């Protein structure tokens, strides 16, 4: 009897990445480009990146006119690492534009264009009822994206990020120093606040695209370490 080896072609995906020039986004980009399960990576950016790769499509947009680029916002899955700080944005209105409006707009357009999965980088403490603007906006965008009807929404809520940054962020630097040099502080009940490497968060986001979850899943800080493993 003859046997025939069956060659099953692995399904590949197109992903759209928001924030590909940032700390976590740049790690996501490298991981996505080196992973054969992703055949095309669309980076939606406001200025070009100094890299080229056969799988990478850099789409430069004016984030205030996202509707004009609707036909480019088309992928199987979207990963968003977009975000700013109140200090960088200069006002609460401008902060909200980046952390809420831009992300939600892309999520709406991509959903209309057939995307099934949205992976959202949020933050520990996200809560739409918070009196802290940052946490409130994160909570609001989580809720808004969750209501769009995606098959799968995964929301990651990391604590302080550890990673090299070119710009100076004094508050974050103090947090990073404590996270790296006083790790004993994060034993016991404070363990859930421990700092997390940007690359670990990025790997967890990419892994989340492939996980067979449906509905909305929130991944808290300590769980992100697990999601990064497989
Ligand atoms: N830092 C922390 O400890 C921490 C902890 C938990 C969660 N988070 C959240 O994690 C997310 C990513 O953090 P990160 O440190 O990777 O951020 P990041 O390095 O500051 O990168 C942010 C990304 O957003 C883009 N962006 C910012 N303002 C924009 C604007 N006005 N228009 C278009 N694009 C804009 C940046 O593009 P350009 O390069 O063009 O500026 C960059 O690609 C953020 O939402 C942050 O709130 C951070």
What percentage of the chain reaches a pLDDT higher than 70? Answer: 84
Query: How much is the pTM?
Result: 0.91
| Lowest mean pLDDT, pick from 8-12, 64-68, 132-136, 225-229 | 8-12
Q: Residue 17: pLDDT above 60?
A: yes
Q: What residue owns the CA closest to ligand 1's atom 19?
A: 22
The Cα angle at residue 213 between residues 207 and 219, in degrees rounded to 5: 65
CB 68 within 8 A of CB 44: no
Q: How far is the CA of 181 from the centre of ligand 1 (A)?
A: 25
Q: Find the DSSP H helices in the chain.
A: 23-34, 86-89, 92-96, 103-112, 133-146, 170-181, 198-210, 221-227
Average pLDDT over residues 112-139: 97
Pocket of ligand 1 (CB under 6 A): 19, 21-25, 46-47, 63, 81-84, 98-99, 121, 123, 158, 160-161, 172
At 180 the pLDDT is: 66
Amino acid 194: pLDDT: 86
- C-alpha Rg value of the chain to the nearest Å: 18
Residue found by looking up tokens 């603007």 in the block: 133
**Whether pLDDT at 8 is above 70:** no
Residue 193 has pLDDT above 80, yes or no: no
- Which atom of ligand 1 is found nearest the CA of 21? 43
**Which residues are known to be catalytic?**
134, 138
140 contacts 99 by C-beta, under 8 angstroms: no
């Amino acid at each position: 009897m003859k046997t025939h080896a069956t060659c099953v072609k692995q399904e590949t995906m197109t992903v759209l990445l928001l924030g590909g020039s940032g700390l976590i986004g740049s790690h996501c980009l490298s991981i996505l480009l080196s992973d054969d399960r992703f055949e095309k990576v669309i980076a939606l950016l406001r200025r070009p990146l100094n890299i080229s790769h056969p799988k990478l499509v850099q789409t430069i947009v004016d984030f205030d006119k996202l509707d004009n680029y609707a036909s480019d916002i088309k992928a199987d899955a979207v990963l968003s690492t977009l975000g700013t700080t109140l200090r960088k944005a200069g006002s609460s209105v401008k902060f909200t534009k980046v952390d809420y409006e831009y992300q939600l707009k892309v999520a709406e357009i991509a959903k209309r264009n057939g995307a099934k999965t949205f992976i959202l980088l949020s933050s520990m403490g996200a809560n739409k009822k918070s009196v802290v603007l940052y946490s409130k906006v994160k909570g609001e965008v989580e809720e808004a994206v969750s209501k769009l009807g995606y098959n799968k929404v995964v929301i990651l809520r990391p604590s302080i990020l550890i990673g090299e940054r070119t710009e100076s962020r004094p508050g974050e630097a103090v947090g990073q120093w404590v996270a790296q040099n006083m790790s004993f502080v994060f034993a016991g009940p404070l363990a859930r606040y421990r700092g997390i490497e940007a690359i670990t968060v990025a790997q967890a986001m990419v892994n989340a695209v492939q996980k067979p979850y449906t509905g909305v899943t929130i991944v808290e800080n300590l769980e992100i370490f697990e999601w990064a493993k497989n």
